[in-house]
Amino acid sequence: GLEETICSARVTDNLDDPSNADVYKPQLGYISILNSYDLPILRFLRLSALRGSIRQNAMVLPQWNANANAVLYVTDGEAELQVVNDNGDRVFDGQVSQGQLIAIPQGFSVVKRATSDHFRWVEFKTNANAQINTLAGRTSVLRGLPLEVITNGFQISLEEARKVKFNTLETTLTYSSGPVSHGRPR
Amino acid sequence: QFPNECQLDQLNALEPSHVLKAEAGRIEVWDHHAPQLRCSGVAFVRYIIESKGLYLPSFFNTAKLSFVAKGNGLMGRVIPGCAETFQDSSVFQQGQGQEQGQQGQGQGQQGQGQGQSFRDMHQKVEHIRSGDTIASSPGVAQWFFNDGNEELVIVSVLDLASHQNQLDRNPRPFYLAGNNPQGQVWLQGREQQPQKNLLNGFTPEIISKAFKIDVSTAQQLQNNQDNRGNIVRVKGPFGVIRPPLRSQRPQQEEEESVGN
């Protein structure tokens, strides 16, 4: 029985093929995810991976890993990153470039914006089916909240709450020009 | 776990060790370093939400199981990828809706396409009442609202030893809104720092770009001047779209079911 399962199990998959992209915007780039649905053996490892390749000024909307830690390794280019921890503190605010590694723990929110022609990275996640939740965008947590929760939670008007909730139609990648980073973490 | 953590020679009844006061209630936290809780690998929290109190959206680093010990209210969750299936009635009045849709378009709901108009749409909201047991996954935002007249008391266990907790053996709430001036007093090293919401950690420029809003609104989302805590008082109507309460089902519908 083993030769029919473990020995013949597929253990490789290529993430550098944009035709397999899960998120794709011609002007901004693509993101491919490799989880246990794509590569079943990952279920045993309880690990998954993500490959991103975005152009200059493309921004990955702020998001957090709901059920995994992530380790991000830069393979090409540079990007500005901001990372926020459970206390609401910005624990990283700066550039990451080729060859560098940064760990993003579960629940920590992160935003990435490419500052070089192409920013490419691979992320390894400690869950076979890592789930992200986004703070902004059409499938975001703010979009899923009632307006009353937003108005009361943030003490903003109904009109402002509508803008917060509905203005961003993208789900993952958006365009963002100009500097957004202010140097050292607060 | 550290070695011998479960070498317990004596057990005792535990009381909450930390109380977080808020505008419309309080959150009582048991010391999760207490030997018996440490051995069990859990943390325990009690939420006391006053009438019209809204426990602001938050998510945790691990699985949580809650029990409604008293009162009743509403509970909302936002699960990644789920649609906003709760929409207000104007969507269902198709013909009329269409006209409104055009009108709606004018009200800044650009990009909705199909000319639909609506007051709001959001993910599922449920009624909760005493006795309800609620499962919460890590990373999934959840909020509670007390729409009754008595206190809503919810007790929760957080399974810190679960494999779903990818962080350390501490209960770590992440708040999407609000500001807790007392801070995460149950965590060593965080006693003196207020706990802010997630958006507070980003620069206003990032927030304004991500949400496509102006920077002043982005700054408001950061709740910098907010000292209400994590349970705030809702002033005026709380017009969240909700299903009728079980007891409010139309009489005829119930008779039909009896007939069958």
The conformation of residue B234, written as its DSSP 8-state character, comes to P
Residues contacting B94, CB < 8 A, separation 6+: none
Q: Which of A63, A87, A90, A92 to mutate to test the interface with B (most CBs of B within 10 A)?
A: A87
Q: What band does A45 get if pLDDT is binned at 50, 70 and 90?
A: confident
Give the separation between CA B100 and CA B112, rounded to whole angstroms.
Answer: 13
CA B16/CA B27 separation, integer angstroms: 10
| Residue of A43, A90, A141 to mutate, testing the B interface (most B Cβ within 10 Å of its Cβ) | A141
Which pLDDT band holds residue B30 (cuts at 50, 70, 90)? very high
Tens digit of pLDDT for each residue in B104-126? 444 444 444 445 567 899 999 99
**Burial of B190 from C-beta contacts in 10 A (0-12 / 13-18 / 19+):** middle
Q: Among B111, B190, B223, select the one facing A154 at the smallest CB separation.
A: B223
Query: What pLDDT score was predicted for residue B89?
Result: 65
pLDDT at A183: 52
Whether residue A89 is predicted with pLDDT greater than 90 in this model: the reply is: yes
pLDDT the model gives residue B118: 76
Say which residues have a Cβ less than 8 Å from residue B176's Cβ, sequence separation at least 6: A135, A141, A142, A145, A153, B56, B57, B58, B59, B141, B197, B198, B199
Q: How far apart, in whole angstroms, are the C-alpha atoms of residue B155 and residue B69? A: 7
> CB under 8 Å to B214, separation ≥6 — which residues?
B208
What residue ranges in chain A does DSSP mark as E strands?
23-25, 29-34, 48-55, 58-65, 70-76, 78-84, 90-97, 101-104, 109-114, 118-125, 132-134, 173-175
CA–CA separation, B21 vs B230, rounded Å?
A: 9
Q: Which residues pair with B211 in a beta bridge?
A: none
pLDDT surpassing 60 at residue A184: no
- The radius of gyration computed from the CA coordinates of chain A, to the nearest angstrom, equals 18
Concatenate the DSSP letters of all residues of B80-97 into one string: TT----EE-GGGG-HHHH
ipTM attached to this prediction: 0.84
Contact B201 A90 (CB under 8 A): yes
Place of tokens 């008391």: B153
Q: How far is A174 from A180, CA to CA, in rounded Å?
A: 14
Share of chain B above pLDDT 70, in %: 83
pLDDT in tens, B41-63: 999 999 999 999 999 999 999 99
Q: Is the pLDDT of residue B90 over 80?
A: no
Which chain A residues contact residue B212 at CB under 8 A? 163, 167-168
Closest chain A residue to the Cα of B195, Cα to Cα: A87
Per-residue pLDDT at A123: 95
Query: What residues of chain A, 121 to 180, have a C-beta less than 8 Å from chain B?
Result: 126-127, 131-137, 139, 141-150, 152-156, 159-160, 162-164, 166-169, 174, 176, 178-180
